[in-house]
Amino acid sequence: MAEPAVHKDPFGHHRVTVTRIVPMTATVKSYTLALQDDATFRFKPGQYIQLYVPKGDQSVAKPYSIASPPDQEREIELCIKRVEGGYVSTYCDRLAGGESFEIRGPIGKFFLREPIDSDLVFLATGTGVAPFRSMLRGLFPIGPGDTSWAPYQFSTDPAGPLPVRQAGAGRRHAWLFFGVRHEDEILYESEFLSMAERYPTFHFIPTISRPGRWQGATGYVQDHVPKHVTDPSGKQVYVCGLMPMIEAARAALKGMGFQREQIHYEIYT
Ligand SMILES: Cc1cc2nc3c(=O)[nH]c(=O)nc-3n(C[C@H](O)[C@H](O)[C@H](O)COP(=O)(O)OP(=O)(O)OC[C@H]3O[C@@H](n4cnc5c(N)ncnc54)[C@H](O)[C@@H]3O)c2cc1C
C-alpha cells in the first residue's frame, strides 16, 4: 500500500518569549519576542508571522507584520493594536512580559521587488506601517546594527542604478505617507524623522485625519500622494492597511496613472 503523502509545513515554527512591551499609543503596543531556540530568524522585510495564543484548550493564530529591522535575527518586534472585542489583540494587550508563545513564519510575499532599482512609495495607516518600518530601517540605516543588513540582494551591476540603500548619496527617492487619526498616534515617528533628517532622498509625510493643533498634512493618506509624487514612471508603490484604505488608495493611484504591476498590497483583514 502506498505511503500517505506527508505535507511538511514550509514555514518555521519557533518558541518565543515576550521580553519587552512598550505602549506606543493608547491602543498600540510594541512587543519584542526573543527566540528560545538557537535558530536565527531570517526574513524579508515586509513579511509577517502567525502568533499562536491559547484559547481554552486550543490555540488561535493571527498574522502580525514583522516590524523589526531586517538584521535583527534573534528577536522579533511586533506592533499590535488592541481591537475592541478582538480576541488575540486583547489577549496581547493584557500580557505582562515573560510569557511564551509559538510563532510560525516568516510568511508572505509583501516584500520589496528586487533588484530595487525604482523609487519607492509607501502608503500606510495605523499599524499598517509595521512592514514599512522594517523595510525602511534596512533602506535608510539609523541604528548601529542597521548597517549590516545582509539578507537583501541589491542590484550589484556597477553600471546599474544605485541601490536605494545608498539613496542618501544617490538618485533614488522613497516617500512614506502615513495616516493616523490623531497626532499622538504616529508610530515610530522619531525614527522616521531621523531618517528624513539624515537622508535627503527619504520623504516622510504623516497625515492626520482628526487634527487638533497639528500644522502638517491632514485628511486621508492617499490624497497627499499627487502633491509629492507627480510622475508614476520608475516607481513601485507598497500599500498596507485595512480594506477601506486599500480600496481608496487603489482608486487614487489608478487615477494618477499607476499600472497594476507597480502597486503591491498587504490587507489587514
Ligand atoms: C498579513 C497581516 C498582517 C497583519 N499585521 C498586523 C500588525 O502588524 N498589527 C496589527 O495590529 N494587526 C495586524 N493584522 C491584523 C491582525 O491579524 C488581527 O486581525 C487583529 O489583531 C484583530 O485580531 P483579533 O483576534 O484581536 O480580533 P478578532 O476577534 O478576529 O476580530 C474582531 C473584529 O475586529 C475587526 N478588526 C480587525 N482588525 C481591526 C483593526 N485594526 N481595526 C478595527 N477593526 C478591526 C475584525 O474585522 C473583527 O470584526 C494583520 C493582518 C494581516 C492579514
Give DSSP secondary structure letters for the chain: -PPPPP---SS-EEEEEEEEEEE-SSSEEEEEEEESSS------TT-EEEEEEEETTEEEEEEEE--S-TT--SEEEEEEE--TT-HHHHHHHT--S--EEEEEEEE-S-S--SS--SEEEEEEEGGGGHHHHHHHHHHS--STTGGG--S------TTSPPPGGGGGGSS--EEEEEEESSGGG-TTHHHHHHHHHH-TTEEEEEEESS-SS--SEES-GGGGHHHH----TTEEEEEEE-HHHHHHHHHHHHHHT--GGGEEEEE--
pLDDT for position 145: 66
Cβ of 127 closer than 6 Å to ligand 1, yes or no, is yes
Ligand 1 pocket, residue 51 CB under 6 Å: no
Reported confidence tier of residue 93, pLDDT bands at 50, 70, 90: very high
Going by pLDDT thresholds of 50, 70 and 90, the confidence category of residue 150 is very low
**Cβ of residue 243 lying under 6 Å from some atom of ligand 1:** no
Closest residue to atom 30 of ligand 1, CA basis: 86
* For range 154-158, the mean pLDDT: 37
Quick count: other Cβ atoms within 10 Å of Cβ 205?
A: 21
Cβ neighbour number for residue 241 with a 10 Å cutoff:
23
Q: How confident is the model at residue 146 (pLDDT cuts 50, 70, 90)?
A: low
pLDDT score, position 202: 87
Q: Across residues 209-227, what is the average pLDDT? A: 93
Architecture of the domain delimited by 13-107: Beta Barrel (2.40)
Pocket test for ligand 1, best of 89, 107, 135, 180 (most atoms within 8 A of CB): 89
* Ligand 1 centroid to residue 126 C-alpha, Å: 11
C-alpha distances (whole Å) from 35 to each of 15, 40, 102, 206 are 6, 8, 10, 33
Please indicate whether residue 161, judged by its CB atom, sits closer than 6 Å to ligand 1: no
Q: What is the mean pLDDT of residues 96-122?
A: 91
266 lines ligand 1 (CB under 6 A): yes
**How many CB atoms neighbour CB 84 within 10 A?**
7
Q: Is the pLDDT of residue 244 over 60?
A: yes
- The whole-model pTM stands at 0.91
Q: Which CATH architecture describes the domain 119-155+162-267? A: 3-Layer(aba) Sandwich (3.40)
Residue the block writes with cell 531621523:
194
Evaluate: CB of 25 within 6 angstroms of ligand 1.
no
Residue 30 Cβ contacting ligand 1 at under 6 Å? no
Task: Give the C-alpha separation, 112 to 46, whole Å.
Answer: 8
The rounded Å distance from CA 201 to ligand 1 centre is: 33
* Region(s) of the chain under CATH 2.40.30.10: 13-107
Cross-strand pairs, 17: 34, 100
Range(s) within the chain of domains with CATH label 3.40.50.80: 119-155+162-267
Cell of 176: 512614506
Alpha carbons 223 and 125: distance in angstroms, whole number: 13
**Facing residues of 32 across strands?**
20, 77
Rg (CA), the chain: 19
**The one-letter amino acid at 251:** A
Task: Judge if the beta carbon of residue 186 lies within 6 A of ligand 1.
Answer: no
